[in-house]
């Protein structure tokens, strides 16, 4: 007979096994996104060290910031974009920044360049690079999601049974049976009430249910659970309801007979 509960459990397990590898891959990609390096502090420190090494300028011409911005943009664009799942190479980044600062034109007599002058240009270019990194990671995640199998439409289920198909039967003892019948589909539910029912003298080999009562060894017993054992112990599943009475004493054959009363 078709068991919808077991069928549902089997389908749930099949879906879980199919989706589990994809869930692990998505979780791994999310962890890698969370580990995206923060280059801000590293860049600022490297720039400051390089700028501090530039000799102080004499009074004269100011530095051309347009030239500085062009050099910074060119150097940042040359930074290698990390592959999916690979961490950034901080040593390579420091090397690029050092080369960037070395290429800056030494100011002639004029105003000295400071880290504050270069910082806006670097921040803009690094933000552009970080955004590209995020987009690549997001594309990889989306591709993993797209690989998930789309559930197919299943077949229509069979019509269920309702109250119009209900039949109720009573066995004449203590069991009421509810039957739901429609075509070749049958659902049956037995309701057994543990009321006391006299089953006569105990029969060896017969199975008794809670509430059945028997006479055995002169006493009256009531079943507390389903059992086929003799009612001779507490473990047998029987409870003693009425104990056998004691035998009376023998009389003295009329010797103590009460004399009749004369009126």
Compute the average pLDDT of residues 86-110: 62
Tokens of 247: 């035998």
Q: Is a pLDDT exceeding 90 seen at residue 206? A: yes
Q: Please tell me the predicted confidence (pLDDT) of residue 239.
A: 92
Burial class (CB in 10 A: 0-12, 13-18, 19+), 231: buried
Q: Is a pLDDT exceeding 80 seen at residue 210? A: yes
Q: Please tell me the predicted confidence (pLDDT) of residue 141.
A: 82
Asked whether the CA dihedral 15, 18, 21, 26 is positive or negative, the reply is negative
Q: Which of 72, 85, 87, 88 is nearest to 123 (CA)?
A: 72
Cα distance between residue 51 and residue 69, in whole Å: 15
14-46: pLDDT as tens digits: 666 766 776 777 777 777 666 655 556 666 666
Cα distance between residue 19 and residue 25, in whole Å: 10
Q: What pLDDT band is residue 61 in, cutting at 50, 70 and 90?
A: low
Q: Is a pLDDT exceeding 90 seen at residue 230? A: yes
> Highest mean pLDDT: which of 113-122, 163-172, 221-230, 231-240?
221-230
- Domains in the chain and their CATH numbers? 8-146 (no CATH), 163-192 (no CATH), 197-242 (2.10.10)
Q: Please tell me the predicted confidence (pLDDT) of residue 227.
A: 94
Q: Is a pLDDT exceeding 80 seen at residue 205? A: yes
- Whole-model pTM: value is 0.33
- What mean pLDDT value characterizes the chain? 74
Tally of CA atoms within 13 A in the half-sphere of 27 that contains its CB: 6
């Amino acid at each position: 007979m078709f068991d919808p509960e077991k069928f549902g459990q089997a389908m749930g397990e099949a879906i879980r096994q199919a989706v589990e590898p994809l869930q692990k891959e998505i979780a791994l990609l999310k962890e890698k996104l969370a580990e995206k390096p923060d280059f801000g502090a590293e860049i600022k420190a490297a720039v400051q060290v390089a700028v501090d090494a530039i000799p102080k300028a004499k009074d004269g011409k100011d530095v051309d910031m347009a030239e500085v911005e062009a050099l910074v943009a060119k150097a940042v664009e040359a930074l290698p974009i990390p592959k999916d799942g690979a961490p950034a190479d901080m040593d390579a980044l420091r090397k690029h920044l050092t080369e960037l600062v070395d290429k800056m034109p030494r100011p002639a007599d004029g105003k000295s360049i400071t880290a504050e002058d270069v910082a806006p240009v670097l921040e803009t270019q690094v933000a552009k690079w970080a955004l590209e990194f995020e987009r690549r990671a997001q594309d990889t995640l989306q591709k993993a999601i797209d690989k998930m199998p789309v559930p197919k439409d299943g077949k229509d289920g069979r019509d269920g049974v309702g109250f119009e198909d209900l039949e109720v039967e009573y066995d004449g003892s203590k069991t009421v049976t509810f039957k739901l019948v429609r075509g070749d589909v049958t659902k049956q539910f037995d309701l057994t009430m543990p009321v006391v029912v006299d089953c006569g003298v105990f029969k060896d080999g017969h199975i008794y249910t809670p509430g059945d009562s028997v006479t055995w060894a002169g006493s009256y017993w009531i079943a507390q659970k389903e059992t086929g054992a003799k009612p001779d112990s507490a473990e047998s599943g029987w409870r003693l309801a009425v104990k056998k009475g004691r035998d009376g004493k023998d009389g003295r054959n009329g010797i103590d007979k009460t004399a009749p009363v004369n009126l």
